[in-house]
Structure 1
Amino acid sequence: MSDAIETYDSMSELYASFGGKLDQDVDFTIHRNEELYPNFPVKSPLFRTSFYSVLILREGRGRYLVDDQSYVTRGNIIYFTNPGHLKGFEVEETLRGYLITFTESFLKQYVHENILDEFPFLIAEVAPPNYPDREIFQIFDDLGGQLLQEYQSDSAYKYKVIGCLTVVLLLKIKEWFWKAYDPLTEASTSSNITLTFQRHLEAHFRDLLAGKCDRLFQVQDYAQAQYLHPNYFSTVIKYKTGKSVSHWIAEKTIAESKALLARSSESVQEIAFRLGFKDAGHFSRFFKKHTKLSPVSFRQSLSSGFNLEP
Structure 2
Amino acid sequence: MINKAESIQDFYNRNPRANPLGLSNNNANGLGHFNVFSRENCFRSTPYNRRDFYKISLIIGTGRLYYADKWIDIDRPALLFSNPSVPYSWEAISDKQEGYFCLFTGSFLQADSQHFLLNQLPLFKVGGDFAYFVNDDQCQKIGEIFKKMMEEIKTNYVHKYDLLRNYLQLIIHEAMKMQPIQRYLPHSSASRVCDLFLDLLERQFPIDSQERMLELRSAQDYANILSVHVNHLNRSVKISTGKTTTQHIAERLIKEAKALLIHSDWTISEIAYSLGFAYPPYFNNFFRKQTKISPGLFREQYAHM
Question: Could you say whether these structures have the same fold, taking a TM-score greater than 0.5 normalized by the shorter chain as the test?
Answer: yes
**Which amino acid counterpart does residue 35 of structure 2 have in structure 1?**
T
Q: Report 1:42-61 matches (<5 A).
A: 42-57=44-59, 59-61=60-62
| 2:31 corresponds to 1:33 | no
Summarize deviations over 1:108-166 as a string: whole Å, max 9, x none: 115x0231288454324242422222112211111111111112222111101111111
CA contact (8 A) 1:47 1:86 kept: yes
1:183-231 CA distance string (max 9 Å, x none): 989xxxx987223779xxxxxxxxxxxxxxxxxxxx9863333637xxx
| Residue aligning to 2:125 | 123
- Partner residue of 1:136? 138
> Partners of 1:143 and 1:54 in 2: how far apart?
12
Cα contact 1:9–1:51 (8 A) shared by 2: yes
1:35 shift after superposition: 2.7
The residue that corresponds to 1:195 in the other structure is: 199
Which residue identity does 2:5 align to in structure 1? T
Matched to 2:146, the amino acid is G
Partner of 2:84: 83
Amino acid at match of 1:148: M
Give the Cα–Cα distance (whole angstroms) in 1 for the partners of residues 254 and 143 of structure 2: 32
Is this contact kept in 1: 2:57–2:101, CA < 8 A? yes
Structure 2 length-normalised TM: 0.56
Give unpaired runs (5+ residues) of structure 1.
Answer: 199-218, 243-310
2:181 is paired with a residue of what secondary structure? Answer: coil
Q: Which residue of 2 aligns with 1:174?
A: 176
Q: Which runs of 5+ in 2 are unaligned?
A: 189-193, 203-221, 234-244, 257-305
Per-residue CA distance 1:26-52 (angstroms, 9 max, x = gap): 411110011333xxxx33321101222
- Normalised to the residue count of structure 1, the TM-score between the two structures is 0.56
State the alpha-carbon separation in 1 of the partners of residues 200 and 87 from structure 2. 20
Q: Which residue, 3, 6, 10 being the options, matches 1:13? A: 10
Aligned equivalents of 1:43, 1:132: Cα separation in 2: 22
Aligned length: 206
Q: Distance in 2 between matches of 1:52 and 1:106?
A: 10
Alpha-carbon distance in 2 for matches of 1:75, 1:120? 22
Look up the equivalent residue of 2:10 and give its one-letter code: E
Name the aligned partner's letter for residue 42 of structure 2.
L
Distance 1:95 1:240 in 2: 34
Q: Can you list the C-alpha shifts for 1:162-185, whole angstroms capped at 9, x where unaligned? A: 111111111111112363326989
Cα RMSD after superposing both structures = 3.8
Classify 1:241/1:84 alpha carbon distance in 2 versus 1 (closer, same or farther; 3 Å): farther
Match of 2:158 among 144, 151, 156: 156
Residues 142, 179 of structure 1: alpha-carbon distance in 2 compared, 3 angstrom cutoff: farther
Instruction: Report how far residue 80 of structure 1 moved.
Output: 1.4
Q: Is the 8 A contact 2:61 2:96 kept in 1?
A: yes
Amino acid at match of 1:223: L
Q: Aligned with 1:50: secondary structure?
A: coil
CA pair 239-98 structure 1, distance change in 2 beyond 3 A: farther
Distance between the aligned counterparts of 1:71 and 1:169, measured in 2?
Answer: 22
Larger Rg over CA atoms = 2
Contact 1:85 1:241 in 2 (8 A): no
Identity of aligned residues (%): 14
Are 2:228 and 1:225 aligned?
A: yes
CA contact 2:37–2:150 (8 Å) conserved in 1: yes
CA distance in 2, matches of 1:116, 1:128: 16
Q: Distance in 1 between matches of 2:108 and 2:69?
A: 29
Distance of aligned partners of 1:76 and 1:121 in 2 relative to their CA distance in 1, 3 Å threshold = closer
Q: Please identify which structure carries the higher helix content.
A: 1
Question: Per the alignment, do residues 33 and 241 of structure 1 end up closer, same or farther by CA in structure 2, a change over 3 Å counting?
Answer: farther
Paired residue type of 1:6:
K
Amino acid at match of 1:139: K
Q: Residue 69 of structure 1: CA displacement?
A: 2.2
Say if 1:34 and 1:96, in contact at 8 Å, map to a contact too. Answer: yes
Contact persistence 2:124–2:130 (CA under 8 A): no
Distance 1:120-1:240 versus aligned 2 partners, 3 A rule: farther
Aligned-partner residue type, residue 60 of structure 1: G
In structure 1, distance between residues paired with 2:226 and 2:56: 32
